[in-house]
Chains A and B, each alone.
Chain A
Amino acid sequence: MNGMRVVQHPILDELDTSKTVTIYFDGQPITALEGEPIAAALINAGITSFRYTPKRHEKRGIFCAIGRCTDCMMIVDGIPNTRTCVTRVKDGMQVKTQDGLGSFERKEAEK
């Protein structure tokens, strides 16, 4: 599960990978470290493309990783435009690729 994980490091302490949760990327289960941002879990799993732009339908991934640029927005537990670089994983979380502006799935389900 440690695809791109930096476990051993010459300066920093060894990464504790003992506590994990499971999130779902477009329905596929992914193991994530407790408390890490969604984007980190996805990148560790080899996923680099997070959404499609509204006009040209181009792929986008992370750019700033500090919640400023909004390139990493996805639909998280039904909420579109969620910044995955600053939103922490929760067990059972449903993370979906956002197409364009996204929509509130929960509201649609209530209709």
Chain B
Amino acid sequence: MKIKETDVAIIGAGSAGLSAACQAAAAGARVLVIDENHLPGGQLFKQIHKFFGSRAHQAGTRGYVIGQQLLDRVEKSGAEVWLDTVVYGMQKDCTLGVVHEDEHWHVIAKKVIVATGAKENYMAFPGSTLPGVMGAGAAQTMINVNRVLPGERILMLGSGNVGLIVSYQLMQAGADVVALVEGAPFIGGYGVHAGKIRRAGVPIFVGHTIKEVTGKDKVEQVTIVAVDSKWQHIPGSEKTFDVDTVCLAVGLNPMTELVWMTGCEFTFIPAFGGHVPMHDRNMETTVKGLYVAGDVTGVEEASSAMEEGNLAGVAAAEALGYLGAEEAAEKKKEIWGRLETLRSGMFGEKRRTAKQSQIERMEAFEAGAACGQKGAAV
């Protein structure tokens, strides 16, 4: 076993982790970023569409371009990056168990930032385990990164931005999207994305779900059905399509396994995808020196993940004395300002109140702990 000591260890080289690395390293901290994958960038390189938001968030720039800019910044920052490296566990003192280049390492860092992201939800229906039923994100990875079409005739379930954007990207890659199906009575994502696939002739069935997928060894047909206000199937409303692939865009959930191992306190926020670690306005959890950033703190999107990474990186650097209180306060104020912008408007308001509640629960927990009532206030 080998031992590696550093100031800040960051798990996950995606939007949040790389942003945190830039901030902490730029302030002068020794930074080590660890990622299981062969390439850094997380999900950014799959996102070939133009980003939304303000100019400060590079609206109009495609995700993979933002990813490349972030990689360039990390390289200049002096942060060390270990790829093809698995963090298999974390002790209560935040020592990391790591397998790097076929050797076992303990990584001991003064501050740890977990930025492990999220994974796709599954949905069960008859035939849902047949080869050819996959996550919408999986299909996006296959076409935009691996450059292979998982199928030629595809039905998409879910009309949030992932379902809408991946449907369009599947068409850009040459597939035929036969229909987009949404359980709710309205389209979940942005109208501009829905408009693009409607103009391309894809029918959108709101108030419908998948009844079953059939096929001998793989997906051959999918039957959809209308649902009533109690989500019960309405007999006689079935429609059947010949397809070879069914994509599920039914949400994501945070990858919190490593954070759980430390004994960190969690709270349940459905809008964020389930159980999420409590954290304060510095992104620090109930375990001192353990920070979280990005989708692991609650599923949002890449721009917020980058800002949360910035915040955690600044806060960790400040806690280590690499940034003065005044300078750090100024930076954090700017970052929070941008986060407020991202969490505003018709689509952002739910995420803003969810994040506010997450931080309030942390404050209540800390207040309770200070009175010797562990968890009583939550």
Chain A contacts to B: CB under 8 angstroms: 4-7, 9-12, 15, 36-37, 39-40, 43-44, 48-50, 58-69, 85-86, 88
- Say yes or no: A66-B150 contact (C-beta < 8 A), given A9-B173, A48-B218: no
Choose among B134, B146, B174 the residue that contacts A40 (Cβ–Cβ < 8 A): B146
User: By the criterion CB–CB under 8 Å, are A4 and B149 in contact?
Assistant: yes
The A-B contact count (CB < 8 A) is 100
A89–B141 Cα distance when bound, in Å, is 17
B218: A residues at CB distance < 8 A: 48-49, 59, 61
Q: Which residue of A lies closest to B86 (CB)?
A: A67
Q: List 8 A-B contacts (CB under 8 A).
A: A4-B150, A10-B172, A36-B147, A40-B146, A62-B138, A62-B142, A69-B122, A88-B38
B150 touches A62 (CB 8 A): yes
17 extra interchain contacts, Cβ-Cβ under 8 A, other than A40-B148, A50-B131?
A: A4-B152, A6-B148, A11-B48, A12-B48, A15-B147, A39-B146, A61-B134, A62-B138, A63-B122, A63-B134, A63-B135, A64-B134, A64-B137, A65-B146, A67-B37, A85-B138, A86-B38
How many B residues have CB within 8 A of the partner chain? Answer: 34
B210 at the interface (CB under 8 A from A): no
How far, in whole Å, are A67 and B144 apart by their CA atoms in the complex?
17
Nearest CB in chain B to that of A41: its residue: B148
Q: B119 contacts the other chain (Cβ, under 8 Å)? A: yes
Q: 8 nearest interchain CB pairs?
A: A61-B131, A65-B138, A40-B146, A48-B131, A65-B141, A6-B147, A4-B149, A40-B148
Residue of A11, A64, A67 near B135 (CB, 8 A) is: A64
Residue picked from A60, A65, A67, most chain B C-beta under 10 Å: A65
Q: Is B305 an interface residue (CB 8 A)?
A: no
Chain B residues with CB below 8 A from A39, complex form? 142, 146
B 120-143 to A, binary, CB cutoff 8 A, 1 in contact else 0 = 101000000111111101110111
